[in-house]
Amino acid sequence: MRRIFLVVVVVLMSLVSKGQINTDLGISIGTSSSLDDVNKFNMVYQPSFTFGGLYRINFDESNCFRFNVEYGGLKGDDLSFSNGFQQERAHKFNNKFMHLSGNYEYNFFNYWVKKKIWSRAMTPFASLGVGLLVVNTHFSMTIPITVGAKFVFLRDYTLSVEASLIKTFLDNNDDLVDPYKMPSGMMMNKDYISRVVLTLSYRFSMDKVCMIKANNKYNGYIDVR
């Protein structure tokens, strides 16, 4: 799985080297958690380290498309819950996953792209996509939903913080398959992955920013000339 992750990262870097206009290449670090038959509701339960890379195409100030690749962990322990069923079952797991996804990303403010006068130096954003998840030897399609905020950092960089909920079509991220004998289907009784990450990306663009106004005169905007 790690070899596949490295191959994908190399491919993303080769795309940037071809001189794409207004594209970003970045790295991300953060935490991932599993929502499953052990933990059903806590989105930051027993967080595991996750890291990855992204390649973003900026079509204009609001619309982007990005590719993500991430490698991380999922873990859980029945004994961390107080109910009698889980205390008796005493199931524990610690798995690794890789996730590849393509996501449409929307900036709610006109964010710094191209030669645009009065583009904002920050914006909240949201994204929706489809992906492929590998957990141990199991494969699944995914639907990642993400919200976050991004900031211009040191002129040519973007710093962003984001949180995601990834819908999977597997019921064994926790090495358990329907222990409660609930009705199952393509959209029912499946596991989720939550993630919180910090991303730093570099803007590769033929339209370079000349100056970011450092004072408060422009109220959070940048002047791109």
How far is Cα 30 from Cα 32, in angstroms, rounded to an integer?
A: 7
| pLDDT score, position 136 | 87
Residue 168 structure tokens: 């999977």
Check residue 183 and give its pLDDT. 54
Beta-bridge mates of residue 95:
74
Query: For residue 45, what are its two tokens?
Result: 């339960």
CB 193 within 8 A of CB 138: no
Residue 187's pLDDT is 52
Query: Domain span at residue 87?
Result: 2-222
**CATH number of the domain enclosing 153:** 2.40.160.20
Q: What helix, strand, coil percent values describe the chain, rounded to 5?
A: 10, 50, 35
| pLDDT confidence of residue 61 | 85
- In this prediction, residue 9 carries a pLDDT of 54
For the chain, residues with pLDDT lower than 50 are 16, 18-20, 115-117, 206-219, 221-225
Counting the structural domains of the chain, the total is 1
**Dihedral sign computed on CA atoms, order 156, 159, 165, 166:** positive
SS3 63: strand
Per-residue CA distances from 166 to 35, 52, 103, 120, 146 (Å): 10, 15, 12, 29, 8
